């Protein structure tokens, strides 16, 4: 299904990202960690974006891009790109890189929220049918649309090529896999102006600290970048986990995305993080997702992570509009919870 066109003729930067994750079967003889940055840039050329900066620890190498982020683990690649990038065109080069290392695809998922300005997108991102067709040229997966079609919703494509009988894979698949995304629209000016360069601008690190972003997951390594004249991106590493934030501050199309694969101890911990993120950015509406494997759901009860209501300042609150829970077919054992919230101001409330 193609996204609905906006009701007016005003266009802006497309903040909501397209996201591609490919997991490869584990190997004792090869690792994506040894791929040179030039090869990753060659892949990103197909998406029409460039590497701005790099940060790494013993688990992951991450790149801030001109349009969002790239994360490289030994057997996993996660790419997020915004604007009018052509993310899926990265796939042939990524598969070529993997083939050179004798790595085989284990699991793939592509996702994105419905877009603000879908008519501005380029092939193969004109609509979800086109994206699905392009993905099916390389994989045999399943496509899903989650959430209400007339409101904020989410597109997802999954291809599960895993072999649960492979002993080496089974050993490494025991690690719990949970990814949380928070996608926010309609931030107040008092929030968005922090990410617009002015005479008071110092540097990206100052913005990260004063905006409250640094406090979301304390003790992280952070690589941040403030664009000129506006916009902000950051990657964080906390041991094996990554987290990332991207901000489009233009008032008529303001958007913030937050994402992490940090595994918390309980559903309540995810709820607390969601509240912290919302308190930091104070959006008018929120779409949040929690994508978990079978172990994550059984151990952490992730489908309980999102409450009926979230707090907001001055007696206002965020009301849950809808919740969608899906268990995906096949061997993967993954499930997803998606919720849409909207701010309900009190009579005297302020954002």
Cβ-based neighbours of 254, under 8 Å, separated by 6 or more: 15, 185, 186, 187, 192, 248
Q: Any alpha helices (H) in 89-230, and if so which ranges?
A: 91-100, 128-136, 167-173, 189-192, 204-210
Contact 317, 309 (CB under 8 A): yes
Domain spans of the chain, in order of start = 15-174, 175-351
Query: In which band, very low, low, confident or very high, does the pLDDT at 293 lie, cut at 50, 70 and 90?
Result: confident
Residues with a catalytic annotation lie at 14, 17, 68, 82, 233, 246
Half-sphere exposure of 326 (CA within 13 A, CB side): 20
DSSP lists the bridge partners of residue 235 as 223, 244
CATH number given to 175-351: 3.60.90.10
| Residue 37: closest CA among 47, 17, 52 | 52
pLDDT tens, residue by residue, 7-29: 445 567 887 899 999 999 998 88
Q: How far apart are CA 323 and CA 307, in angstroms?
A: 10
pLDDT value, residue 10:
59
DSSP lists the bridge partners of residue 105 as 24
pLDDT beyond 60 at 35:
yes
pLDDT value, residue 310:
93
pLDDT value, residue 111:
96
pLDDT value, residue 299:
62
pLDDT tens, residue by residue, 75-114: 999 999 998 899 999 999 999 999 999 999 999 999 999 8
What's the whole-number average pLDDT of the chain? 89
- Three-state DSSP class for 97? helix
pLDDT tens, residue by residue, 148-199: 888 899 999 999 888 754 443 444 455 688 999 999 999 999 999 999 998 8
Average pLDDT over residues 187-213: 94
Same fold, 15-174 and 175-351: yes
* pTM beyond 0.95, yes or no: no
- Cα 152 to Cα 17, 198, 342: the distances in Å are 14, 32, 11
Class of domain 15-174: alpha beta
């Amino acid at each position: 299904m193609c996204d609905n066109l906006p009701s007016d003729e005003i266009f802006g930067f497309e903040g909501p990202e397209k996201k591609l994750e490919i997991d490869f079967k584990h190997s004792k003889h090869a690792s994506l960690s040894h791929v040179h940055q030039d090869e990753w840039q060659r892949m990103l050329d197909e998406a029409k974006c460039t590497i701005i900066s790099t940060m790494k620890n013993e688990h992951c190498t991450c790149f801030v891009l001109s349009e969002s982020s790239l994360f490289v683990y030994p057997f996993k690649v996660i790419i997020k790109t915004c604007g009018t990038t052509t993310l899926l065109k990265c796939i042939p080069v990524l598969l070529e890189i993997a083939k050179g290392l004798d790595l085989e695809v284990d699991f793939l998922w592509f996702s994105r929220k419905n877009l603000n300005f879908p008519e501005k997108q380029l092939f193969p991102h004109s609509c979800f049918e086109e994206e699905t067709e392009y993905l099916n040229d390389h994989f045999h997966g399943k496509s899903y649309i989650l959430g209400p079609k007339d409101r904020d919703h989410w597109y997802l494509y999954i291809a599960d090529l895993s072999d649960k009988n492979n002993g080496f894979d089974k050993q490494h698949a025991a690690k719990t896999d949970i990814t949380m995304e928070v996608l926010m629209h309609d931030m107040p000016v008092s929030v968005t102006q922090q990410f617009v360069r002015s005479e008071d601008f110092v540097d990206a690190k100052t913005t990260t600290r004063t905006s409250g972003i640094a406090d979301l997951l304390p003790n992280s390594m952070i690589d941040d970048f403030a664009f000129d004249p506006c916009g902000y991106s950051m990657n964080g590493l906390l041991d094996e986990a990554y987290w990332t934030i991207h901000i489009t501050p233009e008032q008529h199309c303001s958007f913030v995305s937050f994402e992490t694969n940090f595994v918390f101890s309980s559903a309540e911990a995810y709820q607390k993080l969601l509240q912290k993120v919302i308190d930091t950015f104070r959006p008018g509406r929120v779409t949040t997702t929690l994508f978990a494997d079978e172990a994550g759901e059984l151990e952490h009860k992730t489908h309980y992570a999102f409450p009926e209501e979230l707090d907001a300042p001055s007696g206002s609150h965020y009301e849950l509009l809808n919740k969608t829970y899906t268990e995906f077919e096949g061997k993967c054992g993954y499930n997803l919870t998606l919720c849409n919230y909207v701010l309900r101001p009190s009579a005297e409330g302020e954002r």
